[in-house]
Amino acid sequence: MSKRWIIRQSDNELARSISISARISDLIAVLLTARGIKTCEAVQAFLNTNLKKHLRDPFLLPGCREVAEHLLDAVNRKQKIVVYGDYDVDGITGIVILRQTLKDLGADVDYYVPSRLDEGYGLHSEAVVKLAQSGVAVIVTVDCGIASIAEAKTATEHGIKLLITDHHTPGAELPNAAAIAHPQLVRLSGKCVSVQSLTAKEMEVAEKYPFPLLCGSAVALKVAWALGQLTFDGPGKPVSPQFRERLTEMLGLAALGTVADAVPLQDENRALVRGGLQYLYSPKSSAGLKQLFAVSKYVEGKTRVDAEYAAFQLVPRLNAAGRLGQAGLAVELLIGNNPKRAAELAKEINELNESRKMLEKRIAKEAEQQIHEQFDAVHDPAFVLVGDWHRGVIGIVASRLVERFHRPIVLLGKDKMGNVPAVGSARSVTGFNLYAALETCRQFLLRFGGHEAAAGLTIEETKIDSFRTAFCNTVAKRITEEERTVSLLIDGIFPLGAFTPSTVKQILSLAPFGSANPSPIFAAEKVFVQNVKTMGKDKSHFAAEFCQNSVTLRGIAFSRKNWLEEMQPYHEPMDIAFKVRINDFNQQVELDILDWKRVTV
């Protein structure tokens, strides 16, 4: 599929000035200024992001002090506490952070993770009632609860004190909880309220948290940190040595949750991932964490525990447990300190991940077959696909299919016996409002929810055909040609000679890469290709040498074996788009080729 190259615009004069004043290379200055970092001070802040400077005092977070005080009161009263969290990695790590901290304080504390398959996301009234009947006095949520109006009422009716820690967008009405810790709330007259409930005049005087884009586990970290300060030190004082060891472990877990939840890697999030991941694996790590690393291709002294390793090795394994309805295993692994049990859990979770990959591969194959048999794969505006598919995996497959076909896609997993409604996951292309499109089809749906890019839905099987027609018609009317074209955002055009090992190491030092700080993409013009071949066990990857003037760099394109036939007979210059890296074996610069275009001399 042809890609549209969008070149970021940079002020070369400003970049040169910043290069001199900040003492960085011209290429790095162009890269940063093109991304909106346009002062020497901002450049230095970005390059020198660290935990000490950028991780803010927990008592600045709206509601954090109140939640911590209620929890300490419950500990002192010896009341039974349950940490209730989501089943994804952000929720799982947040559960572990709060549960372990409360355990350190001598609390009677347990945890509860709803089943993705049987209960679904969020706080559930049925679970609240069961917990109340088992003697639970306090529930503190992690990564959920901000929209749980009815569930908060159920908690009150059953004598449970509800405390909420969350990061999802609050509505105008907040749940009637004893306290809510949330980075998007504001303080007005001493109370924590939603910005959606305020007038413009009230917003002018409301106290806002400086960085409202924390993930759920980072909010849990703030509450745990506040608990430590209230218990051992006092607000505003340094953390005591006895609490520091626990805090460093929690920093690693919160960093892992931040990577998993794909929140913008700016400000506190950038500091947390950049500085926190170094604490995830150490001689003092729990047996569970060590065993997780053991099954995740970790080699002592060789593997870098960076955002990429976390995202591609650790996160999928922990997420697999939740996707297949066994998130409790992941929590048990992370809190476990029995080496034998930890090894058993790590092995089971690794096997679940392998099962997840096989399910994903099967579903993707069947879904693609449907596309080619039932749709026009080139011209149809959207695809609504149905199969006997595992509801915990269809979201991943939908995302992969959107990458491949670049149009909104809905995958529906139906019950083999037809006794329950079909459950679906929908994903969209950049710029197209998926939620708004589903709104126009709500008469066919039992329920749905989500946002512009992703959504979940439930539908009776008898309504699927009508929904498919309505949804595809809506997309056809609303989607633009630009939205249907794959875009490649390029940070700048440079000669291959600019990518020396020293410069590439500087580029890589801008990590962690992720949301709001993507791995840089560059372009080079009028490049010649030679020595093209396929590589890999199944020969599915493409490799070649790319030459410009007197510089030759090796380039690899993953899963692009079809390029062999296109490039082998081609002897004219081309433009290439790529990422850069240092080969771990020979320390040479390599290109990760993303796209290429034929040009005329």
The helix or strand, by DSSP H or E, that contains position 85, with its residue range, turns out to be strand 80-85
Cβ(277)–Cβ(311) below 8 Å = no
Q: Distance from CA of residue 198 to its chain's centroid?
A: 30
Cα torsion 237, 56, 187, 180 to 10°: value is: -90
Pairing label, strands 409-413, 191-193: unpaired
Q: What is the pLDDT of residue 65?
A: 96
* Residues of the chain below pLDDT 70: 1-2, 233-240, 242, 417-419, 600-601
Q: What are phi and psi of 449, to 5 degrees?
A: -165, 160
Nearest to 521, CA basis, from 484, 575, 560: 575
Q: What is the pLDDT of residue 302?
A: 84
Q: What is the pLDDT of residue 487?
A: 87
Q: What is the pLDDT of residue 184?
A: 94
Q: What is the pLDDT of residue 452?
A: 85
Helix, strand, coil content of the chain in percent (nearest 5): 45, 20, 35
Pairing label, strands 522-535, 541-548: antiparallel
Per-residue pLDDT tens over the stretch 134-178: 999 999 999 999 989 999 999 999 999 999 999 988 889 999 999
Per-residue pLDDT tens over the stretch 24-48: 999 999 999 999 999 999 999 999 9
Q: What is the pLDDT of residue 283?
A: 85
Quote the radius of gyration of the chain (alpha carbons, Å): 25
CA angle, 107 as apex, 101 and 112 as ends, to 5°?
75
- Give the tokens for residue 335: 């809190």
Q: Is the pTM of this model over 0.75?
A: yes
Q: What is the pLDDT of residue 301?
A: 83
Q: What is the pLDDT of residue 300?
A: 86
| Three-class SS state of 181 | strand
| Three-class SS state of 200 | helix
| Three-class SS state of 250 | helix
Cα separations in angstroms, 109 against 93, 103, 379: 16, 7, 56
Q: What is the pLDDT of residue 600?
A: 64
